[in-house]
Amino acid sequence: MLPPIPALADYGISPTHGFLPEVLPLTRLPDPYYNKWEAITANLQALILSKRLRGVVDRLPVLSTIGLEHDAEWRRAYSLLSFMAHGYIWGGDSPSDRLPPAIAVPLLKVSQHLEVLPVATYAALCLWNFKPLFVDEDIDNLENLATLNTFTGSLDESWFYLVSVAMEARGAPIIPLMLTAVAAARQNDAPTVTRCLTTFAERLDDLTNLLQRMHESCDPTIFYNRIRPFLAGSKNMAEAGLPNGVVYEDGSSDEPYRQYSGGSNAQSSLIQFFDVVLGIEHRPTGEKRGESEREGRTQAPKHNFIMEMRRYMPGPHARFLGDVQAVANIRDFVEDNRTARPLCLAYDACLSMLRALRDKHIAIVTRYIVLPSREVRARSRSRSPEATRRKLNLATASRQPQGIAYDVRGAVAAQQQQKQAEKIKGTGGTALISFLKQARDETGEPAVEEWTRRFMSRQVRTEGQGDFFAGKPEEGAGLPVEEVEVTGLAGIWTIDDDVGGICNY
């Protein structure tokens, strides 16, 4: 007996909106009991700017979750509390390693209810944080979207979230479509599978075009220095001032330090759905094709970042991916029908389009993270420590030259922190661009047609060099080549100079 094909309704997934909620996110909690949460998030930027957020939150009463009724209310509460939490932690001269009860207690309750982790995940920042400008227009159109909450109030931050929202909405119909394809493959119905795959490939192209629009209204410098620091989690954050993580003050006798990754699009269930349904396998970072079989391993022992990110998805969405994995048959079906050219071509087209999307994404990461991190390092070398000592967070942490501590709380604390940082270093250590390139290359591996395989495994220096947005080769010239750590969004990575100056992939 084959396992049943998952029904979207069982996982709270919408046939039209996909992983975005079927009911649009609430713009405010209906119960006036929560007015204080609403007022704080409505004024978040001003409170952060004036450095008054912590004081306000410290005086806030601990509100119960009893007034939350429908799922949409719980989701709004989660998003509000996540923004408040990250604003509280990162919105001062140095980060706070304690989250006061007024945030910690309800955040833990709401997260448990929604089966999400109590941090600003992709769900808090994107999936449950948008509204259409005109309700009668589609939400897969960037011109019809606005954010509900931001840390900075900048258009750049809104745009950063909204590109993802539009991609989720545009990609949503692929989910039921590909479940139809799975059912058709069970019936040996090649024409239907082919039709589904062709539509899938076309949509993927739309998604890449949407991704590319990131450049229109999100400035890399603002993203790197202003937005990214608020997205940071509490894991591997020693250099940014959180050597142990964050204590959630929930009033229990045991309040351990908690460590969570920050919010990242790597927590998008949509992209992982594409991989799963197409039978694309992502090996642990650094592992080459066939390596695990040769070594006779059944369980991947190395760090598999992509799988780890499933923990940061809403529970039902992560379960859905696992259940789709159990029924994913398209790759086998295509391999068993190699003589059906249109089927094979349609399958390979999907792989090729998804690979192209990852290619564009690598160019974005280069422009938004790799290049600014180099600029910041170059600048910090030419500046006095006093000039950069004002603030400690993710942006300033990357500026920290070897041997100079930036802890504003004094030399002793700084030394301890530095020691901790050194210890924690190395738990990351995976090269960012290598990781992304591996994920991209794995996308092409299942290709069936000989020419597609050749085309996708070619080693050319294409993307980036000719990519207007990724910058000119001269931009990185003159900077010393060295291995440095950089915090991506959810992960800590090394900047690998195998990107050879700039965008050499």
Least Å from the CB of residue 104 to ligand HEM: 24
CB-nearer residue toward ligand HEM: 102 or 362: 362
Using CA atoms, how far apart are residues 505 and 503, in angstroms rounded to an integer? 6
Query: In the complex, what is the shortest distance from the CB of residue 52 to ligand HEM, in angstroms, rounded to a whole number?
Result: 29
Among 279, 428, 471, 488, binds ligand HEM (CB under 6 A): 488
Our CB check for ligand HEM shows the closer of 258 and 360 to be 360
Residue 11 or 223 with smaller CB distance to ligand HEM: 223
- Asked whether position 365 contacts ligand HEM by CB under 6 A, the answer is yes
Shortest Å distance, C-beta 472 to ligand HEM: 19
Within 10 angstroms of residue 133's Cβ, the number of other Cβ atoms is 11
In the chain the first and final C-alpha atoms are separated, in Å, by: 45
**Residue 204 beta carbon to ligand HEM: minimum distance, rounded to whole angstroms:** 11
Q: Which is nearer to ligand HEM, 243 or 488 (CB)?
A: 488
Q: How many residues make contact with ligand HEM (CB under 6 A)?
A: 27
Q: Distance between CA 29 and CA 223 in Å, rounded?
A: 29
CB of 207 to ligand HEM, least distance (A): 7
Work out the number of other CB atoms within 10 angstroms of the CB of residue 92: 18
Residues in 215-244 that interact with ligand HEM by CB under 6 A: 218, 223
Closest C-alpha to 282, from 261, 260, 262, 310: 310
Judge contact between 486 and 373, C-beta under 8 A: yes
- On whether the CB atoms of residues 485 and 431 are closer than 8 A, the answer is no
Residue numbers 250-269 binding ligand HEM by CB under 6 A: 264-266, 268
Region of 60-68, 89-97, 361-369, 393-401 interacting with ligand HEM (CB under 6 A): 361-369
CB of 81 or CB of 163, closer to ligand HEM: 163
Q: Which residue is nearest to ligand HEM (CB)?
A: 488
Is 361 annotated in a binding site? The answer is yes
Binders in 281-320 for ligand HEM, by CB under 6 A: 306
The structure tokens listed for 14 are 């919408």
353 touches ligand HEM by CB under 6 A? no
The least CB distance from residue 309 to ligand HEM, in Å, is 7
In angstroms, rounded to a whole number, what is the distance separating the alpha carbons of residues 259 and 233? 7
Using CB under 6 A as the binding rule, whether residue 491 contacts ligand HEM is answered as yes
Question: Contact between 165 and ligand HEM (CB under 6 A)?
Answer: no
Length of the chain: 505
To the nearest whole angstrom, how small is the minimum distance from the Cβ of residue 102 to ligand HEM?
29
Distance (Å, rounded) from C-alpha 84 to C-alpha 137? 31
Distance (Å, whole) CA 405 – CA 34: 41
Unique residue bearing structure tokens 């692929």: 174
Asked if 149 touches ligand HEM (CB under 6 A), the answer is no
Q: Could you say which of 111, 147, 150, 164 contacts ligand HEM (CB under 6 A)?
A: 164
490, 499, 502, 503: residue in contact with ligand HEM (rule CB under 6 A): 490
Asked if 361 is part of the footprint of ligand HEM (rule: CB under 6 A), the reply reads: yes
Among the listed residues 88, 160, 260, 406, the single contact to ligand HEM using CB under 6 A? 160
Binding mask 392-431 toward ligand HEM (x if CB under 6 A, else -) reads: ----------------------------------------
φ and ψ at 479, to 5 degrees? -80, 135
Which window, 26-34, 62-70, 73-81, 211-219, contacts ligand HEM (CB under 6 A)?
Answer: 211-219
CA-based radius of gyration for the chain: 23
CA 477 to chain CA centroid, Å, is 30
- Binding flag, residue 436, ligand HEM (CB under 6 A): yes
> How is the beta sheet containing 257-258 ordered, strand by strand?
98-99, 246-248, 257-258
Q: Residue 220 and residue 469: Cα distance in Å, rounded?
A: 10
> Helix (H) and strand (E) counts for the chain?
24, 8
Alpha carbon distance 115, 122 (integer Å): 14
Q: By C-beta, is 37 or 368 nearer to ligand HEM? A: 368
Dihedral sign, CA of 134, 137, 138, 141?
A: negative
Under 8 Å between Cβ of 478 and 414: no
C-alpha–C-alpha distance, residues 458 and 474, integer Å: 25
Cα–Cα dist 130/128, whole Å: 6
Which residue in 82, 71, 74 sits closest to 12, CA to CA? 71
Positions at the binding site for heme b: 361
Q: Which residues bind ligand HEM (CB under 6 A)?
A: 160, 163-164, 167, 211, 214, 218, 223, 264-266, 268, 271, 306, 358, 361, 364-365, 368-369, 432, 436, 439, 488-491
Positions at the binding site: 361
